[in-house]
Amino acid sequence: MRPSVLTRAFVSVTAIAGLAAGTLATAGTGFAAAPPAAAQQAVGAEAFGTLATNNFGLSTTQAKNVQRWLAQFWDYNGSIDGLLGTDSWKAYQRCLKQYWGYTGAIDGDPGPNTIRALQRQLKATSGYTGAIDGIAGAGTRAAFARFANAHA
């Protein structure tokens, strides 16, 4: 009777190991076979998230200050939520286009052209001393925070 119990135990362990290995192999194959569209969709969503809100280091309170200023002077009609999204940046681009040499589209994308115009504004109004290079580095962010605090 003893050999039968050992045989059954060995067969059971082998069967479990085989099932586990098969399940893992199938899971690995299923994951590897995911359609490229799913990966592209995930990347697209991440890119959209980046475009959707860009406070350039401002706190929520500071961003709300900027949004109130945009609502008062630059036809911003969105919510005052402390998230500088596409509508906030469209309003800001209208300001930058009129006064600070912004020549791009009013698209709400705070890319390098928007940042260069913002840097020109911050140089004139908020103590920015860096280059007009279109990069929102530490100096740009600090001057933008000073601008936001001045509009509390």
Distance, CA of 6 to CA of 12 (rounded, Å):
10
143 and 74 in one domain?
yes
Q: Report pLDDT for 39.
A: 40
Nearest to 122 by CA among 97, 94, 148: 148
Among positive and negative, which fits the CA dihedral 75, 81, 86, 92? positive
Residue by residue, pLDDT tens for the chain (152 residues) are 455 544 554 445 444 444 444 544 444 444 344 444 444 444 443 444 444 578 999 999 999 999 999 999 999 999 999 999 999 999 999 999 999 999 999 999 999 999 999 999 999 999 999 999 999 999 999 999 999 999 99
136 and 85 in one domain?
yes
83 and 109 in one domain?
yes
47 and 64 in one domain?
no
Distance, CA of 76 to CA of 81 (rounded, Å):
12
* Domain extent for 113: 56-150
For 7, the token pair is 């045989």
119 and 89 in one domain?
yes
38 and 62 in one domain?
no
135 and 62 in one domain?
yes
The number of folded domains in the chain is 2
What is the pTM for the complete model shown? 0.66
19 and 64 in one domain?
no
127 and 96 in one domain?
yes
62 and 18 in one domain?
no
